[in-house]
Amino acid sequence: MTKHADKILLGVIAFLLIVGMITFASASAPRSVRNYGNSYSQFLRQLVQGLGLGGLFFMLGLRAPVVIWKKWAPLMLIGSLLIMLAMLTIPSISLTVGGATRWIVLFGVSFQPSELLKFAFIAYLAAWIHSRKREIGSFTFGLLPFLAITGIIGAFLLLEPDLGTFGVIACTSLGMFVMGGGHMKQVGIIILLGLLFLIGMSILEPYRINRWLVFLDPNTDPQGIGYQINQARLAIGSGGLWGRGVGLSRQKFYLPEPDGDAVFAVFAEEYGFIGVIILIGAFFLFAVRGMMAAAHTRDSFTQLLASGITLLVVTQAIINTAALSGLLPLTGIPLPFMSLGGTAVAFLLFEMGVLVQISKRKHI
């Protein structure tokens, strides 16, 4: 077993992080000036809360034995759900923005429990599939428990509400279920139930129906429900082949969330088509090296954990870039390594530490 980490994986993580922070510095300037009177206040907060804390989290993920996450997965999952329950039931510690309660605020510092929940669920699911590898193809002992576990996680996320994050977790868990030995008939049932669920949730909330209407016809109410996607497409198109240049985006002053869900549009405007191809290539390379790290280990838990982390990042990247390009309805999913969120960056770097450590376990 080699003790050397995958240098290509490390390199692509470093590349995405550096490019992400540079892009965030530009995209966050309008909101930073508006809220703090300084172009770099938001960037500095992301640097300290995200990258600073994330560096410590990365070292934790890199140094802690992988077996710890299998041992503590049930407690991590229960703990993350209890934290989310506290957020949803104790108004004095929760923060609600735009009708969604997704943050806990303590001593002036905000924390997003769903970021902890993502890793806890992936670790738990990897441990559960590992323990059930001979029964995973069973309807009673495989499919039904999988649907129940995923459904419980979904219920907590929908109470925020955060359908987008649940969608990412559901896609990631489906991929892990298949890799763990799930049958195609089971996958078909899961996909059918997922589609029915999506239709039901769209009917219950008018704004979700509006997103479908805008997806089908982007010119629908361009100053209302279609404003964000039209501004995003204008930013992407304005980038041309080579882009306007670093920090020179114009649409970041008009996009509703240029440093959040729409940061990819700012990146595309500043770096152009060539930059977008390089960025997509970097995420593709990340996917390949992450899956290679999983494939080269003998322990099924470690394989599933590495696969789950890789799928989680890549799924978010695909949904975010596709939605802003008009290939999927807008979902509110942030772009990994680039979007606003100190908690998200910190936990992302923790997951990268775990993944890089797993890449050391390559058997030769």
CA atoms of 5 and 356, how far apart (whole Å): 6
Other residues' Cβ atoms within 10 Å of the Cβ of residue 139: 11
Which of 313, 303, 294 is CA-nearest to residue 352? 313
Does 284 reside within a domain?
A: yes
Does 1 reside within a domain?
A: no
CA-based radius of gyration for the chain: 20
Does 171 reside within a domain?
A: yes
Residues 6+ apart with CB under 8 A from 181: 129, 133, 136, 137
pLDDT of residue 2: 52
Residue 89 token pair: 């039931």
Q: Indicate the Cα dihedral angle 103, 107, 108, 112, nearest 10°.
A: -20
Q: State the maximum Cα–Cα separation within the chain, in Å, rounded to a whole number.
A: 59
pTM: 0.94
pLDDT of residue 1: 47
Q: What are the start-end ranges of the E strands in the chain?
A: 94-97, 100-106, 109-111
Does 122 reside within a domain?
A: yes
Residues 6+ apart with CB under 8 A from 218: 226, 229, 230, 233, 326
Does 364 reside within a domain?
A: no
From the first residue on, what is the mean pLDDT of each consecutive set of 10 residues in the chain (364 residues)?
81 97 95 88 90 94 94 96 94 84 83 93 96 86 93 93 92 95 91 90 80 80 80 93 94 91 96 97 98 92 97 96 90 91 93 95 52
Does 2 reside within a domain?
A: no
pLDDT single digits (tens) 152-165: 999 999 999 888 89
pLDDT of residue 364: 37
- How many structural domains comprise the chain? 1
Residue 22 token pair: 């540079």
Q: What are phi and psi of 278, to 5 degrees?
A: -65, -40
pLDDT of residue 70: 95
Domain holding 189, by residue range, is 7-359
CA atoms of 151 and 174, how far apart (whole Å): 12
Q: Indicate the Cα dihedral angle 2, 307, 22, 4, nearest 10°.
A: 0
pLDDT of residue 209: 83
